[in-house]
């Protein structure tokens, strides 16, 4: 199963809106075929493993199939994998995680068992589940899994009072953010203030960039994004989505529409209604959204209960200052009981910097049973 997980990770960031899946065929303790799902619409991992087996001159009949996710049993862009498994004469199937879709969970396993295939489930379940946390969330809620990313000093500052923020962390941390966070997401979101301050490109520049579907989303209630901004003028401008409200001047919106897609969102207190936006993005098949905003955008997502994972980078620096900008803004909590918790945090050293990530637990959830 560890090898199947390694194969599945090769598709990490490129299979959306499908999950990452790896598969390995084994007979007498030796691998006779392997494969992984490469992109949506391409063959599933199980079919790739069967093809690889035959290319090696072996027969899959009587072999054991290790697969990180329950084989599909319904028709989609490709035929059901359960059909291919039964036709190949696989004797045993070992599964990491079951299908997260409540309508299909366990259906493939039951079908295989009815046809005499031995089925074992739950092997390396945790690793297989984390690998597809974006897909798992989206398939149930139809909204993107949201990761909130920030790079901060030890005292939680993301910029000086004047907006100077480049660079807080070192090259190892920035490379890690590109290859883990941006690669794993389908879209990146920031606010117009970040565009005005830094003019970022918000692109994915890691391995396999040409094969990656990627959207850039700008929260811009009043249509203040300059028409000369990188996100509107570079080769990837077709990937840019500007989200405005009815408060935006018509002339400014018209100018932006000539360079990018612009949608008007309902507003709450003059700001884009975030739950509405996530529903729209989920409807477009965006399963994982990376939020790289400033203090207010970060605070708004967290306060609305829309964040599933935090991903914070810390540099060994202390900035201080009352006016220095904090990583998470929003309303002031009255007590420590209002603090959000991070479950099972992961800590990674990146040169002199540290990366901390974990699933977010809402304050109210801490006291529920």
Active site residues: 46
**β-pairing, 64-69 with 92-97?**
parallel
Task: Determine the distance from the C-alpha atom of residue 178 to the mean position of all C-alpha atoms in its chain, rounded to a whole number.
Answer: 12
Residue with tokens 């690998």: 131
Q: What counts of helices (H) and strands (E) characterise the chain? A: 13, 18
Please state, in angstroms and as integers, the Cα–Cα distance from residue 50 to each residue in 30, 47, 327, 366, following that order: 15, 5, 48, 46
The answer to whether 346 and 309 have CB atoms below 8 angstroms apart is: no
Residue with tokens 């989920």: 282
Nearest 5°: the CA angle 295, 214, 7 is: 110
Q: What are phi and psi of 361, to 5 degrees?
A: -115, 120
End-to-end CA distance of the chain, in Å?
34
- What does 327-340 look like in DSSP terms, one character per residue? SS-SSPPSSGGG--
What is the length of the chain?
A: 369
Q: Which residues, 6+ apart, have CB-to-CB distance to 289 below 8 Å? A: 144, 145, 146, 147, 185, 186, 187, 188, 189, 217, 278, 281
The answer to whether 147 and 311 have CB atoms below 8 angstroms apart is: yes
Please state, in angstroms and as integers, the Cα–Cα distance from residue 117 to each residue in 35, 121, 260, following that order: 21, 13, 52
């Amino acid at each position: 199963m560890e090898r199947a997980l390694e194969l599945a990770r090769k598709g990490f960031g490129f299979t959306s809106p499908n999950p990452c899946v790896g598969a390995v065929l084994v007979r007498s303790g030796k691998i006779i075929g392997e494969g992984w799902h490469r992109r949506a619409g391409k063959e599933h991992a199980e079919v790739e493993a069967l093809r690889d087996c035959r290319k090696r001159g072996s027969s899959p009949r009587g072999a054991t199939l290790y697969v990180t996710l329950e084989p599909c049993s319904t028709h989609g862009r490709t035929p059901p994998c359960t059909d291919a498994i039964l036709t190949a004469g696989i004797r045993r199937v070992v599964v990491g995680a079951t299908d997260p879709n409540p309508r299909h969970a366990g259906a493939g396993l039951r079908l295989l068992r009815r046809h005499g295939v031995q089925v074992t489930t739950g092997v390396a379940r945790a690793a297989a589940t984390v690998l597809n946390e974006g897909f798992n969330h989206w398939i149930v809620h139809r909204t993107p899994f949201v990761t909130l990313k920030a790079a901060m000093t030890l005292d939680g500052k993301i910029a000086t009072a004047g907006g100077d923020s480049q660079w807080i962390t070192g090259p190892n941390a920035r490379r890690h953010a590109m290859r883990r966070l941006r690669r794993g997401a389908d879209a990146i979101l920031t606010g117009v203030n970040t565009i005005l301050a830094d003019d970022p490109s918000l692109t994915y520049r890691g391995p396999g960039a040409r094969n990656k579907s990627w959207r850039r989303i700008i929260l811009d209630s009043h249509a203040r994004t300059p028409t000369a901004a990188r996100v509107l003028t570079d080769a990837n401008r077709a990937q840019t989505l500007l989200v405005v409200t009815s408060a935006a001047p018509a002339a400014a919106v018209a100018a932006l529409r000539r360079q990018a897609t612009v949608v008007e969102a309902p507003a709450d207190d003059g700001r884009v209604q975030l739950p509405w936006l996530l529903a729209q993005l989920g409807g477009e098949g965006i399963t994982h959204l990376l939020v790289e905003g400033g203090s207010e955008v970060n605070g708004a997502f967290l306060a609305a209960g829309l964040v599933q994972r935090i991903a914070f980078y810390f540099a060994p620096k202390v900035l201080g200052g009352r006016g220095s900008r904090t990583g998470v803004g929003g309303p002031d909590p009255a007590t420590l009981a209002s603090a959000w918790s991070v479950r099972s945090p992961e800590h990674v050293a990146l040169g002199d910097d540290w990366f901390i990530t974990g699933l977010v637990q809402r304050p109210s959830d801490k006291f529920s049973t």
